[in-house]
Structure 1
Amino acid sequence: MATITQEVAIKDARFFSPIGFYPEEQVLGNEFYVDVSVSFPFANPNAERLENTINYEELYQIMVEVMAPKRELLESAAEDILNRLLERYATLEQIAVRIRKQNPPFGGDVSQSVVGLTYQR
């Protein structure tokens, strides 16, 4: 029997956050781009009803809450996003979280550093 999987995603959500290993990064902040993608079984009796899907506005709100406080590592932010999604949505089969830090301050000419986590049921 064939199955249909639905994906809901937010790409390139931009945040200016106090996340960084070095104390000055937590004072000055950095620019980040966050991608979140979730997949779940498409068992939708009415594709025009918001309650039959995952509201991407709720995904964005989770991202806002996680990216706001001071943190040392992006890994903790990615894990926090992933865990909140798992707690909130029992039907998720796959989650991908990617956080890109613009111009990481380690003395090289690097446009981005990236941390990502993927969950697969």
Structure 2
Amino acid sequence: MLTIGLEQVHFHAFHGLYPEEKIIGNDFIIDVYVTIPGTSPIDKISETVNYQGLLNVIKPIMEIPQPLLEQVVYAIADAIKLKYPEVQKSIISLRKMNPPMGASVRNSIVSLEKNY
């Protein structure tokens, strides 16, 4: 198996339940890993998952406000599988930095590990 990933990709987005989150937004950090069969050496980009392609999948989904981070990670997982049918597993972790909770919290996190 071969794993390809992007770590700590930063976005400013407008996900959240509370009205102020939809206005001022928040900073988010996402980690994405995908696993494909990897039984022989890779010689061409067409034989693997292009990490620029992963970013191109993630970015438009992050631009659509959702009330729950769970909705975002499931949408990203589905979009990755649609673009890259060879993906057998994905792990997506989405952190909301400084969530508005009335306490000092570095981040909240939602992670999805999905086997296809």
**Selected match of 2:16 from 13, 20, 43:** 20
Cα distance in structure 2, aligned partners of 1:99 and 1:32: 7
Tell me how large the CA RMSD over aligned residues is. 1.2
Instruction: Tell me the SS of whatever aligns to 1:27.
Output: helix
Instruction: Tell me the SS of whatever aligns to 2:70.
Output: helix
Instruction: Provide runs of 4+ in structure 1 moved above 2 Å.
Output: none
Residue aligning to 1:63:
58
Q: Is structure 2 residue 26 aligned with structure 1 residue 30?
A: yes
Normalised TM-score (structure 2): 0.94
Per-residue deviation, 1:20: 1.0
Cα distance in structure 1, aligned partners of 2:80 and 2:34: 9
Per-residue deviation, 1:43: 4.3
Identity, % of aligned positions? 29
Q: Which runs of 5+ in 1 are unaligned?
A: none
Normalised TM-score (structure 1): 0.90
* Residues 60-84 of structure 1, C-alpha deviations (whole Å, 9 max, x = no match): 1111111011211111110100011
The number of equivalent residue pairs is 116
Residue aligning to 1:42:
38
Cα distance in structure 1, aligned partners of 2:27 and 2:57: 18
Q: Which runs of 5+ in 2 are unaligned?
A: none
Q: Is structure 2 residue 101 aligned with structure 1 residue 110?
A: no
Instruction: Tell me the SS of whatever aligns to 2:73.
Output: helix
Cα distance in structure 2, aligned partners of 1:13 and 1:44: 29
Q: Is structure 2 residue 51 aligned with structure 1 residue 75?
A: no
Residue aligning to 1:98:
93
Cα distance in structure 1, aligned partners of 2:39 and 2:109: 34
* Residues 70-117 of structure 1, C-alpha deviations (whole Å, 9 max, x = no match): 211111110100011122222212100100000000101110000011
Residue aligning to 2:79:
84
